[in-house]
Amino acid sequence: MNFKRWLKSVPYSQRIAPYVFISPFIIIFLLFFVYPAISTVIMSFQEVVPGHVTFVGLENFRNLFNADFYKAVSNSLIYTVITIAVLIPLPLVLSVLLDSKKMVGKNFFRAVLFLPALVSVVVGGFTFRLIFGEMPTALLNSILALFGVQPVKWLGGPAQWTTFFALLTLCTWRWLGVNILYYLSGLQSIPTELYESAYIDGAGAWQKFKYITIPLLRPVTVYILTISIYGGLAMFLESFMLFNGNRSPGGAGLTIIGYLYRLGWEQANIGYGSAIGLILLVITLSINFIMLKYAGLFKRGE
């Protein structure tokens, strides 16, 4: 009876109840993050093929650094940089415009800009593959033809910038509204008294934007920058759909995740794929750590 009474009192205990409530998160975290991370580290030192596991030490890492790997890392880093260069300043400006009292049709534009985030990447990638087709009848080439421009091989031409332009367009279309939503939520937390005081002191729209809006939106910007770094380095499905597979001309659309997928699953060498994933984790954590350090979030007292 005492045990049953104690068991019934557990959810009402101020000491035990908090652990009961957070236990689902802890269990999920251990099962779907800690355990896979430890397994990845172990398998990165093994040759894991169907029905056969052999310890190979650092062999996977020694074989990792080749032309394809360097191409994948280079593509992922370039893609990450150009998406950050677009998907931080552009949503910031648009969110300020949408938050303005003079803006007409705010809710309509907010819904339209956020709508692409609800569309599947598979559907969006397939649609953009048709838009960026190399045939003269493709949508983008048809528009260029109106200005006398010859058809461009966007996804298979010799110029790599066309590939990045297609990927950037798809990424901007999909995530612009999400980042605008983040900035709009940040703008709601800025006291209106600050803008009123600045107006009384004679500050114009640019001064208020520069000295009030941008500094107070710094935490939101850091958050968007953090998830953008992760999203850029982990990009795979967009490239896979644009090129209708994991093989692109000259490796123009090859990413780190694409290279991991090719080696780990297409060639069934999970140990080699684990080594690639571990290197990606180290690169992502290192870049984010450096970014957060220089953003001032690791300073004492913050």
Average confidence (pLDDT) per 10 residues, the chain, 302 residues: 63 71 89 88 83 82 86 90 92 90 82 87 89 86 88 78 88 91 90 86 85 89 90 88 81 86 81 88 86 65 45
Compute the distance between CA of residue 200 and CA of residue 79 in angstroms, rounded to an integer: 44
Distance, in Å, from the CA atom of 269 to the CA atom of 253, rounded to the nearest integer, reads 22
Strands (E), 15-75: 46-49, 52-55
Give pLDDT, residue 12. 63
Q: How far apart are CA 165 and CA 300, in angstroms?
A: 41
pLDDT of residue 290: 84
pTM of the model: 0.82
Structure confidence at residue 10 (pLDDT): 63
Per-residue pLDDT, 62: 85
| Fold that domain 65-294 belongs to in CATH | MetI-like fold (1.10.3720)
Given this model, what pLDDT does residue 301 score?
Answer: 45
Whole-number Å distance between alpha carbons of 8 and 89: 54
pLDDT at 83: 92
For 173-211, letters b (16+ CB in 10 Å) and e give bbbbbbbbbbbbebbeeeeeeebeebeeeebeeeebeee
Domain boundaries, the chain: 2-43, 65-294
